[in-house]
Amino acid sequence: MSGPRIFFIHATPVSMEPVARSFAQLWPEATTLDLLDESLSVDLAQLGTMTPEIYDRIDRLARHALKAGTDAILYTCSAFGDAIETTRQTIDLPVLKPNEAMFEEALESAGSLGLAATFGPSIPSMSEEFAAMAKALGDSRQLQTTLVPDAMQRLAEGDAEFHHQAVANGARELADCDTVMLAQFSMSAAKEQVQSRIGARVLTSPDSAVSKLKTLLGV
């Protein structure tokens, strides 16, 4: 029996391999397909804010996946949470924001929480999303964040070793946290290096997303 058909929607190519790896390891039965519009992340970085046009482009990518036939949609770029939320209110199948599963998993744990990111524009939207989820659960914990500059660009240029070490070094800023989340999907390959530098539990978005989608699709 074949598994569900799931579309990944990416705003940067460096997110593609990490989520594919997580699904291959944790849910190989799923059929996964990629949609990429890397101009989204480029334009957001240049504009510095979400625009109606970006909201529309996020929505149109979901409509493309629906027309192609899908059981669920997973967005992988963490800077577009508000636009994804707007889109999924109009779609009657699972549409998952990049980090919500990881946030849920973190909020189920005890102690202080930290978030490391390599894409600066994602921090405000993710912090807002986390705060809303925490408030809904009656959780008053504050999220500690840190930005690891240059790492994403170096990864895009093919220097994975620099990226992983930079993320691991940057995570030291969160060494006093009990749980540390790696914000970007592209950061998940650095999990082992991060874990070797800090004593905190380390969560990644792709692994958490697999678990949540299995639950949503009744697997």
What secondary structure, in 3-state letters, does the chain show?
CCCCEEEEEECCHHHHHHHHHHHHHHCCCCEEEEEECCHHHHHHHHHCCCCHHHHHHHHHHHHHHHHHCCCEEEECCHHHHHHHHHHHCCCCCCEECCCHHHHHHHHCCCCCEEEEECCCCHHHHHHHHHHHHHHHCCCCCCEEEEECCCHHHHHHCCCHHHHHHHHHHHHHHHCCCCEEEECCHHHHHHHHHHHHHCCCEEEEHHHHHHHHHHHHCCC
Name 18's Cβ contacts closer than 8 Å, sequence gap at least 6: 185, 186, 187, 188, 189, 204, 206
pLDDT digits (tens, 9 = 90+) for 152-202: 999 999 999 999 999 999 999 999 999 999 999 899 999 999 999 999 999
pLDDT at 219: 81
pLDDT at 14: 87
pLDDT at 3: 87
User: pLDDT tier at 146 (50, 70, 90 boundaries)?
Assistant: very high
pLDDT at 4: 96
Reply yes or no on domain 100-205 having CATH 1.10.3720.10.
Answer: no
Delimiting residues of CATH 3.40.50.1860 domain(s) in the chain:
5-98+207-216, 100-205
pLDDT at 78: 81
Region 5-98+207-216: CATH code: 3.40.50.1860
